Amino acid sequence: MSSNQLDKKSQAWSALFSEPMSELVQRYTASVGFDRRLWRADIAGSLAHAEMLAAQGIISAADHADIRRGMAQITQEIESGSFEWKLALEDVHLNIEARLTQLVGDAGKRLHTGRSRNDQVATDVRLWLRDEIDGLVALLGELQRALIDLAEKNAEVILPGFTHLQVAQPVSFGHHLLAYVEMFARDAERLGDVRRRTNRLPLGAAALAGTSYPLDRERVAKTLGMEGVCQNSLDAVSDRDFAIEFTAAASLCMVHVSRFSEELVLWMSQNFRFIDLADRFCTGSSIMPQKKNPDVPELARGKTGRVVGHLMGLLTLMKGQPLAYNKDNQEDKEPLFDTVDTLRDTLRIFAELVGGIVVKPEAMERAARRGYATATDLADYLVKKGLPFRDAHEVVAHAVKTALGRGVDLAELSLAELQGFHASIEADVAQALTLRGSLNARNVVGGTAPDQVRAQVARHRARLGA
Ligand code: ARG
């Protein structure tokens, strides 16, 4: 087949076809509009394959040299933007191969020996995703570091902790932030697991059954920095579970970002005023001059829906496919690419945004006091005086009811009044009723005492090597 025959893709298959593809079908079936972003992986995979073909004596050293030279030029053309992508050549693979053949002739046509686009595309997506995962894990590290820095500064700052969005008990704001560090650390760990299963080589599976050429698959895997070769050719070309589990891990990570976003939005509202966000992450309103809207967290919350949607899309894409490769799989790319883009931008922006959080400790403390956040501490105090916990709970409920009726905090009730609820209450109750006393008392591993928060900060820093 001459290179200008390959240019007309409808004729590229063989003499079997008696009419050209319609323009609409060409547009419908082409993927070059989006899969061109795989070009670097495609060339890397081809070079590793060619190197092995030469080492195995399947192509000559001269052909291998021609292929290397051609690919170097193509790399330069794509990088400089002069490469001409053709819709008629369907996808990134055929575009690059056609140009290679145009540049170096027969050697270009020999590159595809022992290979199919089916194992080629599976290899490309895996290589591309592996490198993207590395970038995402690095960004998760940056986000964690930003949160850890803010947590350390706010270890002593008191926030009302909520359950059911009702004030529950005082917590250190630093402790609250470190909860997200735990989540993002697990996200990074999950991505690391996905990476291991992604980083295996399909090449050598060819179309579906393997190949009759004496390929050295392990050699190609090693050249590409992959951890091994896929052990079943049918599985190698047809499954996209690595893309699905990546998108699942990305969805979870976005869900974590989304929960954090929801809190930022709440905390910034007039009803809380716990924090402010740097202006560069907010917008104003075109009609209401007083508004400063937390657009970035809101958008992150919204974009979470789209990533979760991609996960559903990929699962659904896979579910009805018989073995082995089906063209359905071409539809794996856009959701996967968009997932990576969305997660990458979100993590990058949040790593910055966290540094722009202005904390308002007085507002947080006021809210904790107003919500009777130390009621549990009063109950615990009574338990220490010998009351069974259930009875103590009942006594404190009466005290809270009274305080609520008078619009005061528990700490504002006089000792005599408190003693009216139970005779065992003494002057030392004052300490139990302070927010700080409550905070310091929770000095157990994983608890909110500032000493624990600082210990966790140190542990996380050591873990991240920062
Ligand atoms: N563009 C195709 C894809 O993304 C490449 C594989 C095509 N293979 C085939 N037999 N048509 O899946």
pLDDT digits (tens, 9 = 90+) for 242-277: 999 999 999 999 999 999 999 999 999 999 999 999
| Residue 98 within any structural domain of the chain | yes
d(CA 428, CA 403): 19
The mean pLDDT value for 82-103 works out to 98
DSSP string covering 168-230: EEEEEHHHHHHHHHHHHHHHHHHHHHHHHHHSEE-TTSTTTT--SS---HHHHHHHTT-SEE-
Look-up of token digits 């951890």: 227
pLDDT class of 2 with cuts at 50, 70, 90: very low
150 and 265 together in one domain: yes
Q: Are residues 187 and 266 in the same domain?
A: yes
CA 349: distance to chain centroid?
Answer: 13
Q: Are residue 422 and residue 344 in the same domain, yes or no?
A: no
Q: What is the 112 CA–ligand 1 centroid distance (Å)?
A: 14
Same-domain check for residues 403 and 326: no
Nearest C-alpha neighbor of 342 from the set 393, 302, 315: 302
Task: From 359, 382, 404, give the residue that closes a domain.
Answer: 359
Q: Is the pLDDT of residue 240 over 90?
A: yes
* Proportion of the chain above pLDDT 90, given as a percent: 89
Q: Looking at the structure, do residues 278 and 375 belong to the same domain, yes or no?
A: no
Give yes or no: residues 294 and 390 share one domain.
no
Q: Which residue in this structure is represented by tokens 């989006």?
A: 34
Residues with catalytic annotation? 164, 285
Residue 123 to residue 430: CA distance in whole angstroms: 67
Per-residue pLDDT of 47-70, as tens digits, reads 999 999 999 999 999 999 999 999
pLDDT band, very low/low/confident/very high, at 285 (cuts 50, 70, 90): confident
Summarised one tens digit per residue, pLDDT across range 165-192 is 999 999 999 999 999 999 999 999 999 9
**Atom 11 in ligand 1: which residue has the minimum CA distance?**
327
Nearest CA to ligand 1 atom 4: 330
Give the model's pLDDT for residue 13.
Answer: 65
Say if 338 falls within a structural domain: yes
- Quote the number of domains for the chain: 3
Residue 11 has pLDDT above 70, yes or no: no
Question: Which amino acid does the sequence have at 36?
Answer: R
Angstrom CA distances, 110 to 10, 50, 57, 67, 113, stand at 21, 9, 12, 9, 6
Q: Find out whether 340 and 134 touch, Cβ atoms under 8 Å.
A: no
What per-residue confidence (pLDDT) applies to 6? 52
Distance 124 CA to ligand 1 centre (A): 11
- On whether both 96 and 149 belong to a single domain, the answer is no
329 Cα nearest atom in ligand 1 = 12
How many other C-beta atoms are found inside a 10 Å radius of the C-beta of residue 80? 8
Q: Band the pLDDT of 4: cuts 50, 70, 90.
A: very low
Give residue for tokens 């993207």: 132
Q: What's the average model confidence in pLDDT over 22-31?
A: 96
Same domain flag for 46 and 134 = no
Tell me the pLDDT band of 9, cut-offs 50, 70 and 90: low
pLDDT digits (tens, 9 = 90+) for 125-165: 999 999 999 999 999 999 999 999 999 999 999 999 999 99
Which DSSP category does 162 fall into? E
How many residues does the structure list for the chain?
A: 466
Separation CA 214–CA 53 (nearest Å): 9
Dist. CA 321 → ligand 1 center (Å): 15
The per-residue pLDDT for range 386-437, each reduced to its tens digit, is 999 999 999 999 999 999 999 998 989 999 999 999 999 999 999 889 999 9
Residues of the domain holding 68: 20-113
- 76 and 124 in a single domain? The answer is no
Report the pLDDT value the prediction gives residue 283, as an integer from 0 to 100: 84
Does residue 323 lie in a domain region?
yes
pLDDT of 370 reads 84
Residues 303 and 438 in one domain: no
Residues 345 and 300: their CA atoms lie apart, in Å, by 10
- Work out the percent of the chain whose per-residue pLDDT is above 70: 97
The predicted-structure confidence for 297-324, as pLDDT tens digits, reads as follows 999 999 999 999 999 999 999 999 999 9
Ligand 1: residue of 32, 91, 116 to mutate (most ligand atoms within 8 A of CB) is: 91
Band of residue 366 on the pLDDT scale cut at 50, 70, 90: very high
Among 294, 312, 299, smallest CA distance to 258 is for 299
With a CB cutoff of 8 Å and minimum separation 6, the contacts of 88 are 7, 8, 9, 10, 26
- For residue 111 the two structure tokens come to 């590159």
Distance of alpha carbon 426 from alpha carbon 398, whole angstroms: 17
**Apex CA 409: angle with CA 403 and CA 415, to 5°?**
75
**6 in a structural domain:** no
* Residue 161 main-chain phi, psi, to 5 deg: -80, 145
Quote the pTM value.
Answer: 0.94
Residue finishing a domain among 318, 338, 359: 359
Where is average pLDDT lowest: 98-107, 202-211, 291-300? 291-300
445, pLDDT greater than 50: yes
335 neighbors 310 (Cβ within 8 angstroms): yes
Residue 289: the pLDDT is 79
Mean pLDDT, the chain, rounded, equals 95
